[in-house]
A and B are shown apart, each in its own frame.
Chain A
Amino acid sequence: MDDKFIFEKIHQKFGEQIIGFEENYDIMAVYADKEINLKLLQYLYDDPELGFKFLTDLTAIHYPDNKGEELVVTYLVYNMLKKKHLRLKFKLDIQKPDIYTATSLHAGANWLERECYDFFGVNFVGHPNLIRIMNVEEMDYFPLRKEYPLEDQTRKDKDDDMFGRGDSHFNLGKLNI
């Protein structure tokens, strides 16, 4: 069962809702429309020839430069018998990052989706308990997005100058020679 065969099958079933694919170091990534994520996962689970019944991983990536499709939610499913991974990617707009939850199909998606929500703000429609999991409940921003800094800006004991960050008079800025 190779990548071409898998892509042909899902392309046959879902038509133009499958946008494309790319080959990455022996795992194929399939890009699809976000409306069909649950249907696609269900098809991959049920089909006897494909049989991707194990959800290995679920995460998101933030590309602030692609306007209109900044957040990419990616699922990694695995077929244990044939030992084959498949990656699914769905692009979401950052203004309205909604996507259906996979909890009904894979019980392990529960906390993975909560972590995705906590870090990026992806809203999983239908999730039983979508609240923050890693950070404190009162946090009001989504920390892993690229626009937020890593360090806590209110700490007093670390001198940003010494670490080469922050605005200081040691920062030479642009040298006009």
Chain B
Amino acid sequence: MGKIKDKKKIKNIELPEESLGQQTRTLNLGPTHPATHGVFQNILEMDGERVLSAEATVGYIHRAFEKIAEQRAFYQVTPLTDRLNYCSAPINNLGWHLTVEKLLGIETPKRVDYMRVIIMELARISDHLICNSVIGVDAGAFTGFLYVMEYRELIYEIYEEISGGRLTTNIGRIGGFERDFNQKAWEKIDKFLEEYPVILKEFESLFDRNRIFIDRTQNVGGISLERALSYGFTGPNLRAAGLDYDIRTAKPYSRYQEFDFKIPVGTTGDIYDRYMVRNQEMWQSLSLIRQAVQKINDLKGEEAIPHHADVPDYYLPLKEKVYTKMEEMIYHFKIIYGEIDPPVGEVYHAVEGANGELGYYLVSDGGRAAYRLHFRRPCFIYYQAYPEIIKGSLLSDAILTMSSMNMIAGEMDA
């Protein structure tokens, strides 16, 4: 390629000056691309097939959540949090309710906490399912995706029984749940606990020791632990790099300290480690759901009844009572219109989202809406490391790295 540097014409083609001497090309892995799950752009400087440097642009789905939240009462912010990490919406909803409960000083009864654990772990499973099956799709293996989406439909049916929504669930209330899990929901949860482990084993057998998958994913897209900590990684990406930091054990919320589970940890932080960490986390989530169901069944007497805390000031009353009794109707109006003032102060609460530490920083000035609400979004923070990770790798490895890091555009841009 270097020999024909001086020739400007090849046969009848006019080439611009020195274009054949150029070693690199700019490739726009644009906002719309089949492999990017969501809209973000990477401008890559390529030498043939190898990526020399990358520049990432985000903001193609910026919806100004933080500004919207300054004009919405606390209950009206819950549908916004749904749309942050939309693959596991219940975790975002319950994280927001936990933040408000921290501000207001509400303590939830045991049964509510165990029910919340069930919902959050189901959401975690559904998010990890998408991420892992999509790594397969990007590597060319479509079957895993189809097998596993069937069970995501089961999880959606469970959400529908409880909250009415499949994807954007708006689940829960400040202080608990809007209604108790009915008999059908428990049956569906039991069905899920019975059938899903079989499929997860089948899914693992497709990929875990698959020669092609291992060749494509081992030693690709790795990051060292120091760089990961410097960038602020949390969640499965950090655990794949080697540190066993999990908010559920470090700063437990919703009675996670009473549960018994392990934290899977990888070594090199490459794609294979992230895939394995997510798979093992799914097994741990299944065990957590079983423990929670057992704990709920073990509760006796007074503790086995409530599905919400006793805070009439902030918990929307049950619909049967709103339509028949005067006091509940008054409270319903007061809460929806935000007539009850929250205390002045600021609170930061973090939950273990499927991608890492999802934090809510709420500054309240006593008014109807938050004065300032800031989301600490894990995807946004670890996407900064992406140009550094793919430096020097091939283009197809860059695509697999992107899908293994589980970039959800809604969470990135908020």
A135 touches B231 (CB 8 A): no
A144 with B66, Cβ < 8 A, contacts A56-B232, A57-B361 known: yes
Nearest CB of chain A from residue B246's CB, rounded to whole Å: 11
Cβ contacts under 8 Å, B71 to chain A = 150
Chain B hits for A59, CB < 8 A: 361, 374
> Is the pair A56, B376 in contact by a Cβ cutoff of 8 Å?
yes
Q: Are the C-beta atoms of B230 and A108 separated by less than 8 Å?
A: yes
* Residues A24 and B361 in contact, CB atoms below 8 Å apart: no
A19 at the interface (CB under 8 A from B): no
Q: List which A69-115 residues lie within 8 A (CB) of chain B.
A: 76, 80, 83, 85, 87, 106-108, 110-112, 115
Query: Is A111 in contact with B347, judged by CB distance below 8 angstroms?
Result: no
Cβ-defined contact, B345 with A25, below 8 A: yes
Contact A24 B67 (CB under 8 A): no
Does A6 have its Cβ within 8 Å of any Cβ on chain B? no
CB-based contact B59/A135 at 8 Å: yes
Q: Which of A116-170 contact B (CB under 8 A)?
A: 119, 132-136, 143-144, 150
Question: B residues 17-58 with Cβ under 8 Å of A?
Answer: 57-58
Flag whether B62 is at the interface (Cβ < 8 A).
Answer: yes
Q: Which of B103, B227, B371, B374 contacts A25 (CB 8 A)?
A: B103
A144 → B minimal CB distance (Å): 6
Contact at A111–B229, with CB atoms within 8 Å? no
> CB distance A53 to B381 under 8 Å?
no
B334 CB-CB contact with A under 8 Å? no
Classify the interface of chain A: helix, strand, loop or mixed: mixed
Residue in B62, B232, B347, B350 whose beta carbon sits within 8 Å of that of A54 in the complex:
B232
Q: Could you say which residues of chain B place their CB within 8 Å of the CB of A29?
A: 346
Nearest CB of chain B from residue A32's CB, rounded to whole Å: 17
How many residues of chain A get a CB closer than 8 Å to chain B's CBs?
A: 33
List of B residues within 8 angstroms of A110 by Cβ:
384
Q: Which among B66, B232, B359 is the interface contact of A55 at CB below 8 angstroms?
A: B232
Instruction: Say yes or no: A150 contacts B232, CB within 8 Å.
Output: no
B231 touching A134, Cβ below 8 Å: no
In the assembly, what is the distance between CA of A83 and CA of B245, in Å?
10
In the complex, A111→B384 CA distance in Å? 7
User: Which residues does chain A contribute within 8 Å of B295, judged by CB atoms?
Assistant: none
Q: How far is the CA of A62 from the CA of B67 in the complex (A)?
A: 12
B373 to chain A, nearest CB (A): 10
- Contact at B59–A57, with CB atoms within 8 Å? no
In the complex, which of the residues A24, A144, A150 contacts B347, with contact meaning CB atoms closer than 8 Å?
A24
Q: Could you tell me the distance in whole angstroms from the C-beta of B383 to the nearest C-beta in chain A?
A: 8
Give CA–CA (A9, B71) in the complex, Å: 40
Q: Judge whether B192 is part of the interface by a CB distance below 8 angstroms.
A: no
Q: Is A10 an interface residue (CB 8 A)?
A: no
For the A-B complex, the count of residue pairs with Cβ-Cβ distances under 8 Å equals 84
Interfacial chain B residues near A150, Cβ < 8 Å: 64, 67-68, 70-71
Whether B184 is near chain A, meaning CB under 8 Å from some CB there, is: no
Q: Max chain B CB contacts within 10 Å: which of A83, A111, A150?
A: A111
A134 CB contact (under 8 Å) in B59, B227, B251, B348: B59
Rounded to whole Å, the gap between the CB of A58 and the closest CB of chain B is 9
A57 and B374 contact, Cβ closer than 8 Å, known pairs A108-B231, A134-B59, A135-B59? yes
Does A38 touch B at the CB level, under 8 Å?
A: no
Between A27, A61, A108, the greatest number of chain B beta carbons within 10 A of the residue's beta carbon is seen for A108
Determine if B103 and A57 form an interchain contact, defined as CB atoms under 8 angstroms apart: no
Among A27, A54, A112, A135, the residue within 8 A (CB) of B229 is: A54
Complex Cα distance, B121 from A85, in Å, reads 26
> CB distance B102 to A25 under 8 Å?
yes
| B231 x A107 contact (CB < 8 A) | yes
Distance, CA A80 to CA B357, complexed state (A):
13
Residues of chain B in range 304-358 having any CB-CB distance to chain A below 8 Å: 345-348, 350, 357
Check if A83 sits within 8 Å of B251, measured CB to CB. yes
| Shortest CB distance A53–B (Å) | 7
Chain B residues within 8 Å of A133, by CB: 57-59
Cβ-defined partner of A56 (8 Å) among B103, B347, B357: B357
Min CB distance, B71 to chain A, in Å? Answer: 6
**B384 in contact with A107 (CB, 8 Å):** yes
CB-based nearest B residue for A145: B67
**B151 → chain A closest CB, angstroms:** 34
A62, A80, A134: the one within 8 Å of B58 (CB): A134
Asked if B270 lies at the interface with its beta carbon under 8 angstroms from chain A, I say no
- A85 vs B349: C-alpha distance when bound (angstroms): 11
Report the separation of the CA atoms of residues A80 and B383 in the bound assembly, to the nearest whole angstrom: 21
A61 adjacent to B372 (CB under 8 Å): yes
A127 to B: closest C-beta gap in Å: 13
A115 cross-chain contacts in B, Cβ below 8 A: 380
How far apart are the CA atoms of A140 and B372 in the complex, in Å?
Answer: 22
Is B411's CB within 8 Å of the partner chain A?
A: no
Given contacts A25-B347, A59-B361, A111-B384, 9 further A-B pairs with CB under 8 A are: A24-B347, A25-B103, A56-B232, A107-B227, A108-B232, A111-B380, A115-B380, A132-B59, A133-B57
Q: List 14 A-B contacts (CB under 8 A).
A: A25-B346, A25-B348, A53-B229, A54-B232, A57-B361, A59-B374, A76-B359, A107-B227, A110-B384, A111-B384, A134-B413, A144-B66, A144-B67, A150-B71
**What are the nearest 3 A-B pairs in CB distance?**
A108-B232, A134-B59, A134-B62
